[in-house]
Amino acid sequence: MTGAIDPQQASDTLRAARRIVVKVGSSLVTDEGRGLDETAIGQWCQQLAALAHGGRELVMVSSGAIAEGMKRLGWAKRPSQIKELQAAAAVGQMGLAQIYETKLREQGLRSAQVLLTHDDLSDRERYLNARSTLLTLLEHRVIPVINENDTVVNDEIKFGDNDTLGALVANLIEADLLIILTDQRGLFAADPRQQPDAAFIHLARAGDPALEAMAGGAGSGIGKGGMLTKILAARRAAGSGASTVIAWGREPDVLPCLTQGEAIGTWLIAPTHKTQARKQWIADHLQLRGAVAIDAGAARKLTGEGKSLLPVGMTAVRGAFKRGDVIAICDEAGAELARGLANYSAAEARLLCRKPSGDIQPILGYAAEPEMVHRDNLVLSASAR
């Protein structure tokens, strides 16, 4: 295993996590395929409520729609045809949304159903729209319950498993922590069914290649994910600075215990802080799609005060970029001061130059954000720091 990790520092990372994605697998949610486990879901919702009332922001990624649909349709065996799987998902999604809404409402919490496809996260504009929706829900203290939209996808465009979806959602909302609840205690150095004395891995660095060699194996017959998909999900989540915990979902009060830094499950700690990871990605982005020039006042606010770029400070627009592209922010002499993610396309930006944020709606007919580039999506060039 590469790179020793301080256990106390790892425990502090879990305790400090404010924005958390919790992923629950099919075998847990459906009690090994026997239909939605109302008691278990109620217990997780109780735990989510304890965290939410403590000021944490929470997103639930829940499997189980197809298994619940199979039960409702009276199908004993998982179908192989895509159209039948999609039909089962459509039927089961109703029950999945209903039970989470009921159990969260009992705890005084509001919920929202969000169904995502691969296209929602691969297309940059749809990615930003999904991000804005989820962040707005969190701002209003609503818990999004997310699942893949199995009713419209096929094998070519599927995420493949909800472990991957959980990691992508963690990237999407810049979560601090991804908790993957499963029917196993965590990661062992070898398959404990074949090697009963296999060492349990409690603490490691996310992305360590040795972890993938340990994971191997397939999941249950109910879900698609095995331990390997969880290790790969942890590596993906670490790309945006989120650490991951893989833990047994039936552990009493597993979520509050983890967020108090108790030694449960396998902790896979991200090597880079989430803010640093995001800023580094923007700074290293080589495919700049365009640029905006800004006046001296806007330049001072960006470089001296750490402010966002507002449209009123823009004097010119170059290139043909879309919402979500990385663009350069330059002074009027052409020197690059920063780069960041554009909230508006080049055509829209040209209309917004020198205009206050209050004019965005009247000019464009909609207002995505008040800023052209938000400070969280902006990194200063070395010469401007």
d(CA 157, CA 332): 44
How are the residues of the chain apportioned to helix, strand and coil, as percentages rounded to the nearest 5?
45, 20, 35
d(CA 241, CA 176): 7
d(CA 214, CA 338): 42
| CB 336 within 8 Å of CB 381 | yes
Same fold yes or no, 7-274 and 285-384: no
Surface-to-core class of residue 357, CB atoms within 10 Å of its CB (0-12 exposed, 13-18 middle, 19+ buried): middle
d(CA 383, CA 111): 45
The per-residue pLDDT for 288 is 86
Please state, in angstroms and as integers, the Cα–Cα distance from residue 372 to each residue in 43, 200, 275, following that order. 43, 48, 20
| CA quadruple 242, 245, 250, 251: dihedral sign | negative
Fill in the amino acid letter for 325. Answer: D
The per-residue pLDDT for 220 is 41
Please state, in angstroms and as integers, the Cα–Cα distance from residue 43 to each residue in 46, 195, 243, following that order. 5, 33, 24
Angle between helices 65-73 and 82-106 (to 10 degrees): 110
First to last CA, the chain: 36
The residue among 321, 347, 293 whose CA lies nearest residue 124 is: 321
Structure token digits, residue 177 = 């922590």
d(CA 368, CA 322): 13
pLDDT in tens, 126-149: 888 898 899 999 999 999 999 888
* All structural domains of the chain with their residue ranges: 7-274, 285-384
Q: DSSP assignment of 69-137, as one string?
A: HHHHHT-SS---SHHHHHHHHHHHHHHHHHHHHHHHHHTT-EEEEEEE-HHHHHSHHHHHHHHHHHHHH
d(CA 242, CA 259): 14
Structure token digits, residue 20 = 């958390």
CATH class held by domain 285-384: mainly beta
The per-residue pLDDT for 109 is 97
Q: Which residue numbers in the chain have pLDDT < 70?
A: 1-3, 33, 153-160, 217-225, 274-281, 284-286, 383-385
| CB 94 within 8 Å of CB 54 | no
d(CA 22, CA 173): 13
Determine the distance from the C-alpha atom of residue 8 to the mean position of all C-alpha atoms in its chain, rounded to a whole number.
25
The per-residue pLDDT for 118 is 77
Torsions phi, psi for 196 (to 5 deg): -60, -25
The per-residue pLDDT for 217 is 47
**DSSP 8-state assignment for residue 290:** E
The residue among 87, 85, 71 whose CA lies nearest residue 31 is: 71
Write the CB contacts of 99 (distance below 8 Å, at least 6 apart in sequence): 36, 38, 41
> At the fourth CATH level, which superfamily is domain 7-274?
Acetylglutamate kinase-like (3.40.1160.10)
The per-residue pLDDT for 123 is 75
The per-residue pLDDT for 219 is 43
